[in-house]
Amino acid sequence: MSAAELRSAWHAFCEDLKDGAEIALDPDRKIDDVDRVEGIQALLRRLAGDTSRGLEGGDVFHPQLAWCHPFKNGQDNPDGLYQIAEIDLAATYRLSGSIGTVSYLGITAMTTKFATQGVQQFLTLKGDELILDADGRFEVFFGAGPAPDEVSNRNWFPLPPQECSLMIRQFFQDWENEVPADLHLECLNPESVRTRMDAGTLLHHLNQLSTQVVDMTAFWAEFGGAHLERDEINSFSHVQAAQGVNSNLGGSVDQGYGQTWYRIADHEALVLEVEIPDCVYWGIQLGDVWYQSLNWWDRQSSLNGHQAVVSSDGVFRAIIAHHDPGVANWLDTTGSTQGCITYRWNQAVSQPIPTCELVAFDTLSSYLDDRWKLITPGERAVVLRDRRRGALRRFRR
């Protein structure tokens, strides 16, 4: 391929990214100027993540379980460490390692292009389903087959010969102390290693990148906007939660999800209450108009079962507001006047749905009875310091 052809392909790629920016800069989109800045940031984050995942680590015969910080896509979970590798199930793979002490480890082989087609999930495993040896290690094998010699049926998972992704979810509740899983993925019948990239492979990746980055940004913007169109604002009354309800959007089949839109003015607050179910893990978080989590390493824009204070009656009570109301369960909007609220109940025995009430911020004192834990500015500073330390520890940063 000539230099002129490569130049043409690169310019086409850049033009596609320009079109993506128009999603964020659309004057008809009912968002503020900071939201538009974050829309451009969403494009750049997705470009960085997909470049790492596809261009650098996308060899299906020599896969890499890549992660990036922050992984900002589809209301990503602040408690999560997401790893993903491209695979071709016509080959045979071995996933091995130790499961650590995280609250939840989920392993899923699935398609991920749900902006243009439905998601298919071919394999779903939980950490507590893995068979451990005397040293606490495991190995599982999967692919179209046949099974490798001397591999037991308990460790072999025959799957259709489909190109897809292997996604690993690790959910932390105690950010400072839980130990992540240590995992290794390998293809057992690989093709030879390509040490230099040819023009055809580069063009394939440029096409994939521009399509995925632009389409996914548009998809999640419209997905969030649909809450507004359906008037799903400051209320979960529309939610009919069920375990695995979002599996067609790549969600875990082990979880019940609920989502709504918040719209809160500077002088307002949203009081949220929900009875916590018996479950393996739970968390509630805020996100922006692009369906990205808010800044959760510096600000308390999410809470989980370890971090939150649950009243003696089993109810989680929180205040969503722009200003610190002086309660432990404050969900900080970080200045975002609108966005999404998501809850997750992992392997729960029931699927409770939160209630919300929008009130004037200066009337909150009438709500703060003895069921609420109050917190001083000094105590808040300690919580945020420990939160940041735990968040960055997870990513070795």
Alpha carbon distances (Å) from 72 to 23, 46, 178, 296:
17, 7, 22, 11
Please choose, from the candidates 181, 168, 154, the residue with its C-alpha nearest in 3D space to the C-alpha of residue 98: 181
- pLDDT value at residue 354: 97
- pTM for the model: 0.93
> How much is the CA Rg of the chain, to the nearest whole Å?
22
Sign of CA dihedral 231, 233, 236, 239: positive
pLDDT in tens, the chain (397 residues): 788 889 999 999 999 999 889 999 999 999 999 999 999 999 999 999 888 888 887 799 999 998 878 788 889 999 999 999 999 999 999 999 999 999 999 999 998 776 566 678 899 999 999 999 999 999 999 999 899 999 999 999 999 999 999 999 999 999 999 999 999 999 999 988 877 888 888 888 898 888 889 999 999 999 998 999 999 999 999 998 665 655 556 678 888 999 999 999 999 999 999 999 999 999 999 999 999 999 999 999 999 999 999 999 999 999 999 999 999 999 999 999 999 999 999 999 999 999 999 999 999 999 999 999 999 999 999 999 999 999 999 999 8
Rounded Cα gap, residues 18 and 73, in angstroms: 20
In angstroms, rounded to a whole number, what is the distance separating the alpha carbons of residues 133 and 216? 41
Q: How is the chain split into domains, by residue range?
A: 3-211, 230-394
What's the token pair of residue 220? 């999640």
Query: Which residues fall within 8 angstroms of residue 299, CB to CB, at 6 or more apart?
Result: 332, 334, 384
- Rounded CA gap, 134 and 218, in Å? 48
Residue 194's pLDDT is what?
Answer: 79
Q: What is the pLDDT of residue 117?
A: 64
Alpha helix ranges (H) inside the chain: 3-25, 33-50, 199-229, 377-394
What letter represents residue 112's amino acid?
T
**Is residue 250 within 8 Å of residue 74, measured between CB atoms?**
yes
Look at residue 143 in the predicted model and tell me its pLDDT.
Answer: 97
> How far apart, in whole angstroms, are the C-alpha atoms of residue 317 and residue 328?
10
Architecture per CATH, 230-394: Sandwich (2.60)
State both tokens at 182.
């240590």
What the block records as the tokens of 212 is 């995925």
- Give the separation between CA 275 and CA 315, rounded to whole angstroms: 4
3-state secondary structure of 346: strand
Q: How far is CA 182 from CA 65, 81, 93, 222, 323, in A?
A: 11, 12, 17, 36, 39
Cβ-based burial of 55 (10 A; exposed 0-12, middle 13-18, buried ≥19) = middle
Contact 210, 280 (CB under 8 A): no
Burial class of residue 283 (count of CB atoms within 10 Å of its CB; 0-12, 13-18, 19+): buried
Given a contact cutoff of 8 angstroms between Cβ atoms, the answer to whether 84 and 307 are in contact is no
Bridge-based pairing of strands 330-332 and 315-321 is: parallel
